[in-house]
Amino acid sequence: MDVTDSGMEQELAWQIPLYERLHANPELGLAEHATSAAAADLLSGWGFDVRHFGGTGVVGVLANGAGPCVLARADMDALPVTEATGASYASAVPGVMHACAHDMHVVALLGAAKYLAEHRGAWQGTYVALFQPAEETAAGSQAMLDDGLAAGIPRPDVALAQHVMPTEAGTIGTTPGPVLSAGDSVRITIHGRGAHGSMPHKSVDPVVLAASIVLRLQTVVSRETIPGEFAVLTVGSVSAGATANIIPDRAELLLNLRTYSMATRAAMIAAIERIVRGECAAAGSPQDPEFEYYDQYPLTSNDPEANARVTAAFTRTFGADAVYRTAPQTASEDFSRIPDAFGIPYVYWVVGSVPPETYRRAVANDTLDADIPANHSPSFLPAVDPTLRVASQAQAVAAFAYLAAETG
């Protein structure tokens, strides 16, 4: 099956206005009511059997005879960001913005869903289009699973997802193995003994203890992790006390971890807890430290065989120049919880969104970071053409790599 430019190009006539409408009306995680209703309406109009999971989550199932089952996922939520793009279709909701292109993911997946619905003679099997809430808070895929997703839809053989990135528009990046890091946030509370600032001998000073912990934590990556193994440990917040002449009785540290391997992740967490407990003991802390893990994102690691199959299909459609091997990103995603719940392989790829001239000029001048707004920036705005067309085609092409394989 050849998902040609001309086959999907005509879809832009409804896709662009829908994209602009979603962009102007962004909805935060777990509140994607209008977005979810729009997807559900379109899917049922095209003959999908529509089901709801996890509040705003929507799944459309299109059964089309015996054959493989492909699940494709788009996230729907916006961010608490005030838009500064100046686009004619900029956010009309104060303080909320589609700054991560999830609006484009939604419209692209709808484009592929319609294409599959209208070309049922060209494939066999089952296509599952899944629209997930709250990716940005790592809560959405779990909310759908907690609401019975795994038992409530046909079991997929493979899962697909994509993300629009500030790379050259018209290109697609794929990679076997890790593509996005696992992410964990840790809140650590350490206890001291408060005292007057003039009488430190009566205190166990949690400020000095926190400072010592922050420094010692720097050795987790530099001294304990295998050289070359990817690992990030950032202490993003340290808070203790409020005034100059009082030694407080506690301090709080907020850490963020990124890893590409679950073994490395486990070793880092063990090292963090060991160091914090050790420093607390050394300081004479009167109470054990507390560790709270939150905003936890699973590892996203592409199945090599599935990635090779989808990458070959992309290369046939878009040309070898448009498809490249992407380096793993240090960003994180909660998509993989869905395929992991079924124990199935998945492929996650990235789609470029910056006009080629702009992108190449920034690369030539070495000003990529300064000139190209990245995801979550108030100025992040994908070039609608060709990003939307390529993202729509990519979802269709990847699905056909499985569904059209037997029918040719």
CB of 167 to Zn ion, least distance (A): 14
Distance CA 61, CA 64 (A): 10
Evaluate whether 97 touches 157 at the Cβ level (below 8 Å). no
Distance CA 293, CA 269 (A): 10
Evaluate whether 182 touches 337 at the Cβ level (below 8 Å). no
CB of 204 to Zn ion, least distance (A): 41
Nearer to Zn ion, 205 or 334 (CB): 334
Distance CA 129, CA 109 (A): 7
> CB-based contacts of 173: which residues, under 8 Å, 6+ apart?
165, 167, 323, 324, 325, 326, 349, 350, 352
Six token digits for residue 388: 């939307």
CB of 378 to Zn ion, least distance (A): 13
CB of 163 to Zn ion, least distance (A): 6
# binding residues, Zn ion (CB under 5 A): 1
Q: Tell me, what DSSP letter sits at residue 245? A: T
| x/- track of binding to Zn ion for residues 164-203 (CB under 5 A) | ----------------------------------------
Distance CA 390, CA 401 (A): 16
Distance CA 344, CA 10 (A): 34
Distance CA 198, CA 207 (A): 15
- Does residue 354 touch Zn ion according to CB under 5 A? no
CB of 50 to Zn ion, least distance (A): 24
Cβ-proximal residue to Zn ion, closest one: 100
Site for Zn ion in 86-125 (CB under 5 A): 100
Nearer to Zn ion, 105 or 250 (CB): 105
Evaluate whether 348 touches 335 at the Cβ level (below 8 Å). yes
CB of 144 to Zn ion, least distance (A): 17
CB of 58 to Zn ion, least distance (A): 18
Nearer to Zn ion, 7 or 328 (CB): 328
List strands edge to edge, sheet with 182-191. Answer: 231-239, 250-259, 182-191, 290-297
Extract long-range pairs of 320-326: CB within 8 Å, 24+ residues apart.
322/170, 322/171, 322/172, 323/171, 323/172, 323/173, 323/174, 324/171, 324/172, 324/173, 325/173, 325/174, 325/175, 326/173, 326/174, 326/175, 326/179, 326/350
Nearer to Zn ion, 100 or 112 (CB): 100
Nearer to Zn ion, 58 or 100 (CB): 100
CB of 19 to Zn ion, least distance (A): 15
CB of 308 to Zn ion, least distance (A): 25
Helical (H) or strand (E) element with 361 = helix 356-365
Nearer to Zn ion, 70 or 100 (CB): 100
Nearer to Zn ion, 274 or 376 (CB): 376
Nearer to Zn ion, 77 or 205 (CB): 77
Instruction: Give yes or no for a cis peptide into 154 (omega within 30° of 0).
Output: no
Task: Give the DSSP per-residue string, 186-209.
Answer: EEEEEE-B-EETT-GGG-B-HHHH
CB of 265 to Zn ion, least distance (A): 21
Nearer to Zn ion, 83 or 279 (CB): 83
The residues of the shown chain that bind Zn ion, judged by CB under 5 A, are: 100
